Amino acid sequence: MKPSMVTIEPSGHFCSDCAVRGSAVCASLDAAELREFEHLGRRVHFDAGETVFSEEDITTSFYNVLEGVMRLYKLLPDGRRQIVGFALPGDFLGMNLSGRHNFSADAIGGVTVCQFAKVPFNRFIEDRPHLLRRINELAIRELSQARDHMVLLGRRSADEKVATFLLGWRERLVSLEGASNTVPLPMSRQDIADYLGLTIETVSRTFTKLERRGAIEIIHGGISLLDPVKVETLAAP
């Protein structure tokens, strides 16, 4: 993994042109609050492979993803990697009870985040219950995704896991790119394997099997759902 060499833009009027404001943590703020809020953050750019934060580091900042996709992962005692999720624009990362990051995050491709220092951010939200509610909503969504992931890891066949992953990823992209049967996959096959608890060979074979069945077509940078019903049937519990 490459060391982090980030590009930082100073605080400024970012919120007015933020493409994900409607789905981000700041969606509940009014115009006056937004003007104050944007001075708390700074835009930070990470190149592909660069680390945004590492597991067990003391939490000093929170992050709102603006552009790109991040992989979130834990390293197991034997050195294996378990990917616990993929962060998309609008996702808010870094809040935890322990005061330390409970997973690592790095950029799959180029990533831009809005970074907030922990102390002034916490001070800002103290007397804003509507912002706290918004943070709780995002935390509940993250918890729901974590529970779905646990079920996916424990009780599904390889075919079911891959089909469920493709449909779930497509659903997450709808709010960003609109409904489409073309599903971009910026993550590698190894990333998908580490997320689903499979080997890369199994993931590749399953993609090929789905293509031979006429359910998907493997295209550059992703897949096309040729027969969504077949994939949905396979993913059904």
Q: What is the pLDDT of residues 179-234, one digit of tens each?
A: 889 999 999 999 999 999 999 999 999 999 999 999 999 999 999 999 999 999 98
Digit-coded pLDDT (tens) for 116-136: 999 999 999 888 888 888 888
Distance CA(24)–CA(16), nearest Å, equals: 13
Which domains are delineated in the chain? Answer: 7-128 (2.60.120.10), 156-235 (1.10.10.10)
Q: What pLDDT sits at residue 219? A: 96
Those residues whose C-beta lies under 8 Å from the C-beta of residue 111, and which sit 6 or more positions away, are 45, 46, 50, 52, 65, 67, 68, 69, 70
Q: What pLDDT sits at residue 4? A: 47
Q: Taking residues 39-59, what's their average pLDDT?
A: 93
